[in-house]
């Protein structure tokens, strides 16, 4: 019985420590930048890789996730986490999309007003190509 009480007390301590209930929540200094989000926005862009015809694409952001319609149509996962942060008067974003069969595209872009632009690094079978994209809000 004594072992049971010690085990229960130990488990309770771990739960409190893991959830942070034993320490006060950190305060965010007033000078900290607000979190950037592109949620609810979509951009029609032209994606261009060297030596290839431009690809019409729609880049969508929703609930912290990103989708490239061109990538989804090629078997990439539909929604991938994205990261965004303020960049002057714009919002910079980064996301890495993956196809379960191996290819990937790493997106680095900036949204300013109604425009989106950036670079897309595509890797297929060990070969990497650097493309660009640009377009406007949908």
For residue range 10-52, what is the model confidence (pLDDT) as tens digits? 233 323 223 333 333 334 334 434 568 999 999 999 999 999 9
For residue 37, give the nearest of 63, 67, 69 by alpha carbon: 63
pLDDT of 59 higher than 80: yes
Q: How many CB atoms lie within 10 A of CB 37?
A: 15
Token pair for 3:
């072992």
Structural domain contains residue 28: no
pLDDT of 97 higher than 70: yes
Total number of domains in the chain: 1
Q: Are strands 104-112 and 115-124 parallel, antiparallel or unpaired?
A: antiparallel
Q: What is the pLDDT of residue 30?
A: 42
The CA-based angle 10-14-16, given to 5 degrees, is 115
* CATH number assigned to the domain comprising residue 47: 2.40.128
pLDDT of 62 higher than 90: yes
Q: What is the pLDDT of residue 57?
A: 98
Structural domain contains residue 61: yes
Q: Which helix (H) or strand (E) holds 69?
A: helix 69-73
Is the separation of the CB atoms in 110 and 118 below 8 Å? yes
For 103, the domain range is: 41-137
Structural domain contains residue 17: no
């Amino acid at each position: 019985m004594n072992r049971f009480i010690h085990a229960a007390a130990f488990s309770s301590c771990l739960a409190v420590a893991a959830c942070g209930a034993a320490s006060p929540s950190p305060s965010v200094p007033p000078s900290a930048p607000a979190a950037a989000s592109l949620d609810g926005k979509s951009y029609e862009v032209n994606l261009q890789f060297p030596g290839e015809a431009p690809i019409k694409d729609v880049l969508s952001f929703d609930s912290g996730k990103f989708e490239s319609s061109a990538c989804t149509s090629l078997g990439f996962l539909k929604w991938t986490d994205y990261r965004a942060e303020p960049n002057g008067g714009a919002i910079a974003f980064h996301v890495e999309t993956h196809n379960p069969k191996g290819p990937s595209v790493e997106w680095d872009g900036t949204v300013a007003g109604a425009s989106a632009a950036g670079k897309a690094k595509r890797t297929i079978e060990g070969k990497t190509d650097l493309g660009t994209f640009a377009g406007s809000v949908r």
